[in-house]
Structure 1
Amino acid sequence: MRLHETTGGSGQAKGVFFVFFPLALSYGLVLWLMRSSLFQLHDKWTQWDQAYSHGYLLVVVCLYYIFKNLPEKLRPLRYGWIYSLLAIVPSLVWLFGYATQIGAIEQIALPVFLACLVLPVVGLRQFTPLIFPFALLFLAIPLWEVLIPILQAFTVSVSTIGVRLLGIPAYINGTSFSLPYGNVLVAGSCAGLSYFLMAIVLSSINSIHRNYSIKQTVLTVLLMTGLAIVGNWFRVYTLILIAYYSKMTSSLVYEHGMYGWWIFAGTFFLYLWLIRNIPERRKASNAAQNPRSYKLLYLNLVLALVCAVAVPVWFMSGKLQSSYQHRPLAVSGFEQVSPAYANARLRVHFRGYDIEEFVRARVDERLWLIGRKTYVDQTQGKELITEINYIAEHYTKRLTHKLASGQALNVDVVEIRGPKLVVSTYLIGSKSIAQNWQGKLTQFKELLAGRSSNALWYATIACDSYQCNDELASLEGLLAPVDQWLSDSALY
Structure 2
Amino acid sequence: MNENPALAGAASGRLSVPKIAVIVAVFLALLVLYWGTAASMVAVWNSSETFAHGYAIVPISLWLIWRRREVFSRIPAAPYWPALPVLALCGGAWLLARAGEVQVVMQYAFVFMVPVAAAAVLGRRLAGALAFPLLFLLFAVPFGEVFVQPLINFTADFTVAAVRATGIPVLRNGTLFELPTGNWSVVEACSGVRYLISSITLGSLYAYLSYRSTTRRVLFIGLSIVVPIIANGLRAYMIVMIGHMSGMELATGVDHLIYGWLFFGLVMFIMFWIGSYWRQEEAVPANAGAAQAAVALPAKSIIGVAIATVLVGALWPALGALSDKAAYNPARVQLDGARLASSPAGLPAWSPEFQTPDATLKGLYTAAGAPVHLNLLYYRNQGPNKRLITSVNRVDNRKEAFLQIGSNGRLEEIRGQKLALRETRVKGPDGNYLVWHWTWVDGQFVANDYLGKLRQAKAKLMLHGDDGAALMVATPVGEQADTARATLRAFLDANLAPLQATLEAAREH
TM-score under structure 2 length normalisation: 0.70
Equivalent-residue separation in structure 2 for 1:227 and 1:358 (angstroms): 46
Check the 8 A contact 2:159/2:233 in 1, yes or no. yes
Pairs aligned (count):
469
Check the 8 A contact 2:117/2:309 in 1, yes or no. yes
The answer to whether structure 1 residue 322 and structure 2 residue 328 are counterparts is: yes
Amino acid aligned to 2:76: L
Question: Which 5+ residue runs of structure 2 have no aligned equivalent?
Answer: 364-371, 397-401, 477-481
The answer to whether structure 1 residue 59 and structure 2 residue 72 are counterparts is: no
Amino acid aligned to 1:314: L
Aligned match for 1:440, one of 453, 457, 461? 453
Aligned residues: CA RMSD: 5.3
What does residue 314 of structure 2 align with? 309
SS at match of 2:123: helix
Change (3 A) 1:283 1:160: farther
Amino acid aligned to 2:381: D
What does residue 399 of structure 2 align with? none
What does residue 385 of structure 1 align with? 389
SS at match of 1:380: coil
CA deviation after TM superposition for structure 1 residue 300, in Å: 1.6
Amino acid aligned to 1:315: G
Check the 8 A contact 1:374/1:456 in 2, yes or no. yes
What does residue 491 of structure 1 align with? 508
CA deviation after TM superposition for structure 1 residue 320, in Å: 4.1
What does residue 278 of structure 2 align with? 275
Check the 8 A contact 2:13/2:78 in 1, yes or no. no
SS at match of 2:347: helix
Equivalent-residue separation in structure 2 for 1:466 and 1:332 (angstroms): 28
CA deviation after TM superposition for structure 1 residue 172, in Å: 3.6
Amino acid aligned to 1:491: E
Deviations 1:3-49 (CA, angstroms, capped at 9, x unpaired): x9xx99x9799715445433333223323333333333324434675
Check the 8 A contact 1:413/1:422 in 2, yes or no. yes
What does residue 358 of structure 2 align with? 354
CA deviation after TM superposition for structure 1 residue 125, in Å: 3.4
SS at match of 2:469: strand
Alignment of 1:126-141 (within 5 A): 126-141=126-141
What does residue 368 of structure 2 align with? none
Check the 8 A contact 1:176/1:184 in 2, yes or no. yes
Check the 8 A contact 1:342/1:369 in 2, yes or no. no
Equivalent-residue separation in structure 2 for 1:229 and 1:459 (angstroms): 33
Equivalent-residue separation in structure 2 for 1:249 and 1:282 (angstroms): 57
SS at match of 1:45: helix
What does residue 217 of structure 1 align with? 217
Equivalent-residue separation in structure 1 for 2:474 and 2:229 (angstroms): 51
SS at match of 1:301: helix
Alignment of 1:119-158 (within 5 A): 119-147=119-147, 149=150, 153=154, 157=158
Alignment of 1:11-410 (within 5 A): 15=15, 17-46=17-46, 49-50=49-50, 52-66=51-65, 68=68, 71-72=72-73, 73-77=75-79, 80-147=80-147, 149=150, 153=154, 157=158, 160-161=161-162, 164=165, 168-173=166-171, 181-183=181-183, 187-210=187-210, 212-222=212-222, 232=232, 235-250=235-250, 252-253=255-256, 255-264=258-267, 266-267=269-270, 270-271=273-274, 273-276=276-279, 278-284=280-286, 289=294, 291=296, 293-316=298-321, 318-326=324-332, 344=347, 349=352, 350-356=354-360, 373-389=377-393, 400=412
- Tell which deviates more after alignment, 394-403 or 482-491: 394-403
Deviations 1:232-259 (CA, angstroms, capped at 9, x unpaired): 5654454445435444444645642542
Change (3 A) 1:426 1:209: closer
Equivalent-residue separation in structure 1 for 2:12 and 2:410 (angstroms): 67
CA deviation after TM superposition for structure 1 residue 139, in Å: 3.5
Deviations 1:167-195 (CA, angstroms, capped at 9, x unpaired): x5522455667555445555554454433
> Percent of pairs identical after alignment?
19
CA deviation after TM superposition for structure 1 residue 117, in Å: 0.5
CA deviation after TM superposition for structure 1 residue 391, in Å: 7.3
CA deviation after TM superposition for structure 1 residue 344, in Å: 3.0
- Tell which deviates more after alignment, 290-299 or 228-237: 228-237
Equivalent-residue separation in structure 2 for 1:358 and 1:195 (angstroms): 40
CA deviation after TM superposition for structure 1 residue 425, in Å: 7.2
CA deviation after TM superposition for structure 1 residue 448, in Å: 1.7
Q: Which one has more relative contact order, counting CA pairs under 8 Å at least 6 apart?
A: 2
- Tell which deviates more after alignment, 377-386 or 194-203: 194-203
Amino acid aligned to 2:384: Q
Equivalent-residue separation in structure 2 for 1:421 and 1:244 (angstroms): 31
Equivalent-residue separation in structure 1 for 2:487 and 2:234 (angstroms): 55
Change (3 A) 1:453 1:11: same
Check the 8 A contact 1:203/1:221 in 2, yes or no. yes
Question: Which 5+ residue runs of structure 1 have no aligned equivalent?
Answer: 360-367
Equivalent-residue separation in structure 2 for 1:118 and 1:254 (angstroms): 41
Change (3 A) 1:56 1:427: same
Amino acid aligned to 2:124: L
Equivalent-residue separation in structure 2 for 1:328 and 1:184 (angstroms): 43
Equivalent-residue separation in structure 1 for 2:192 and 2:84 (angstroms): 40
SS at match of 1:87: helix
Check the 8 A contact 2:83/2:120 in 1, yes or no. yes
Change (3 A) 1:274 1:196: farther
Aligned match for 2:463, one of 442, 446, 450? 450
Check the 8 A contact 1:172/1:178 in 2, yes or no. yes
SS at match of 1:256: helix
CA deviation after TM superposition for structure 1 residue 378, in Å: 0.9
